[in-house]
Chains A and B, each alone.
Chain A
Amino acid sequence: ETGVTQSPTHLIKTRGQQVTLRCSSQSGHNTVSWYQQALGQGPQFIFQYYREEENGRGNFPPRFSGLQFPNYSSELNVNALELDDSALYLCASSLGRNQPQHFGDGTRLSIL
């Protein structure tokens, strides 16, 4: 059984640029959640997708957006990057909206 995979593993961008992070959910999982983990902090919920629809959003500005595809893989897009966007971005998938979430290893994004 293939777990949650994220790409790329590391990324360096400059302020003002745009970035797309990708996540392949675990086989059979129809729900994907994205989290931002700043250094020394716990993960913060960004949003969740369930069957291709946004199903909840945390306290993040609209420049954070996402997509879920028919195969349940997902993308996180961030526009107009700021220095504070430097963090580990974690994707988690689950069998449903109230099922335990399984995490990928994350994408570490550094903004210069």
Chain B
Amino acid sequence: AQSVTQLGSHVSVSEGALVLLRCNYSSSVPPYLFWYVQYPNQGLQLLLKYTTGATLVKGINGFEAEFKKSETSFHLTKPSAHMSDAAEYFCAVTLNSGYSTLTFGKGTMLLVSP
């Protein structure tokens, strides 16, 4: 079984500041890891994914995440926050199994102030 823990239900940053959203996972086998973003009244949009290979993954909108197996972490970062980044962010894990069910964290709401 797998699980995801996102530390902090809300994170507030100023425009231009570093964004750091934390995600830790639990998995009995090597996982696939994802970050999704959800804007109000919309579905989830894939930001980036880690499957195998390079542990630093770059995604859309300037976001990146680093897979750290020793820390079981997959934190999401962005060097400089924009107002348009305000949304809810979900970390998710799946196993390389017969079906790709995603297990999501509870989400972190990113608030960006001017």
Contacts and interface: CB of A to CB of B under 8 A. Distances in A.
Contacts, number: 66
A12 B50 CA distance: 38
Nearest to A96: B100
A90 B44 contact: yes
A16 interface: no
A72 interface: no
A31 B99 CA distance: 10
B100 A94 contact: yes
Interface string A31-66: 101010000111111001010000110100000000
B104 A50 contact: no
Given A97-B99, A99-B100, A106 B43 contact: yes
B46 interface: yes
Interface of B: 4, 32, 34, 36, 41-46, 49, 90, 92, 94, 96-107
17 contacts: A4-B43, A33-B102, A42-B105, A42-B106, A42-B107, A43-B90, A43-B102, A43-B104, A45-B102, A55-B98, A56-B98, A98-B96, A98-B97, A98-B100, A101-B100, A101-B102, A103-B45
